[in-house]
Amino acid sequence: YSWSPVKARALPGSLLAGFLSLAIDEYKPLDATTNPSLILAAAQMPAYQKLVDDAVAYGKKLGGSEEEQIKNASDKLFVLFGAEILKRIPGRVSTEVDARLSFDKEGMIQRARRLIDLYKEVGVGKDRILIKLSSTWEGIQAGRVLEAEYGIHCNMTLLFSFAQAVACAEAGVTLISPFVGRILDWYVANGDKKTYEPSEDPGVKSVTKIYNYYKKFGYKTIVMGASFRNTGQIKALTGCDYLTISPKLLAELSKEHVKLTPTLSVKEAQACDLEKMHLDEKAFRWHHNEDQMAVEKLSDGIRRFAADAVKLERMLKERMFGTENGK
């Protein structure tokens, strides 16, 4: 199989990989994650048509309106991909809740529980799943409920602001995914400076601050740096709990043959000059809104994932009810 839907994670000391089965075999990641864009691309590949066919059959079997059948088929497809990935890794897979629910706390809780039930149907326990939620206020509070009341572990994605990170820590979620590369992209596109040294990279500085805050105040939430654009960013964040690294950048790192010294550490974090914050909804919305980059990148990310969810549903509709009805 060609593992197009995979972007993988590993603990410090182990590099993580994805996208191709060769990369999984070579780098042996512990965990893996998918998103709607990757699932959409993979679902159109010949190698995965059996999974698509099974998802379509499942949606039709459950019946209901066309909309309900398509939604059920879509959820099933995400789970089937996740289950396949889990056959190749020892850890957990992240499966994302529909981005169109990003401002619907109860909707996200319901969909997350549904995904966990679907995994259970194929013999996968919730201990091997991370539910990915958008890091909106509603998403963070959905994560709080899922963790505390249902024992469902959450991966908070599309995280760009310090306010989002603080709120996630207070909610007690399992893991956050701050996006290093997308933060850099925004500053390059919107400022005069086009290149940054790794230590001055705005994405690196964002994740460093979050890591230091979490470790200084004893939060258990895992910090997983994601969305890297170059190896300099990766090396500047060595010591972070988890990192998500593409096979391309892993290949570049493997050629360097240098010993990396951790740049982040719990000891140094505890000595940092940071003050503890508490954010209720009003304070969260104000502090997040003060960060123009984070506001724009969060909304853009939600729109992009939502658009790919619509494309995936359109493809499933054509498969389930015929091309004419699917247009």
- Residues 6-30 have pLDDT tens digits of 444 543 322 333 343 566 677 777 8
> Could you give the 3-state DSSP secondary structure of residue 320?
helix
Pairing of β 31-33 and β 7-10: antiparallel
SS (H, E, C) 212-271: HHHHHCCCCCEEEEECCCCHHHHHHCCCCCEEECCHHHHHHHHCCCCCCCCCCCHHHHHC
CB crowding 119-145: b at 16 or more within 10 Å, else e: beeeebebebbbbbbbbbbbbbbbbbb
Nearest to 176 by CA among 103, 216, 225: 225
User: Which of 3, 5, 2 shows the shortest CA–CA distance to 308?
Assistant: 5
Contact indicator for 76, 68 with CB cutoff of 8 Å: no
Q: 95 near 304, Cβ under 8 Å? A: no
Give the C-alpha distances (Å, rounded to integers) separating 326 from 55, 70, 87, 200: 16, 11, 33, 49
pLDDT number for residue 42: 87
Greatest Cα pair distance in the chain: 64
Residue 175: both structure tokens together: 């893991």
pLDDT, position 22: 60
Q: Specify the pLDDT at position 38.
A: 84
User: 74, 23, 25: which is closest to 317 by C-alpha?
Assistant: 74
Residue 258 pLDDT: 84
Predicted local confidence at residue 15, as pLDDT: 30
Residues labelled as active-site residues: 132
> Residue 96 pairs with which residues in a beta bridge?
132
Which pLDDT value is given to residue 12? 31
Contacts of 44-53 spanning 24+ positions with Cβ under 8 A: 44/315, 45/2, 45/4, 47/1, 47/2, 48/1, 48/81, 51/77, 51/80, 51/81, 51/84, 52/77, 52/316, 52/319
pLDDT given for residue 76 in this prediction: 97
SS3 291: coil
Query: And the tokens for 106?
Result: 């109860």
The residues of the chain scoring below 50 in pLDDT are: 1-8, 10-20, 324-327
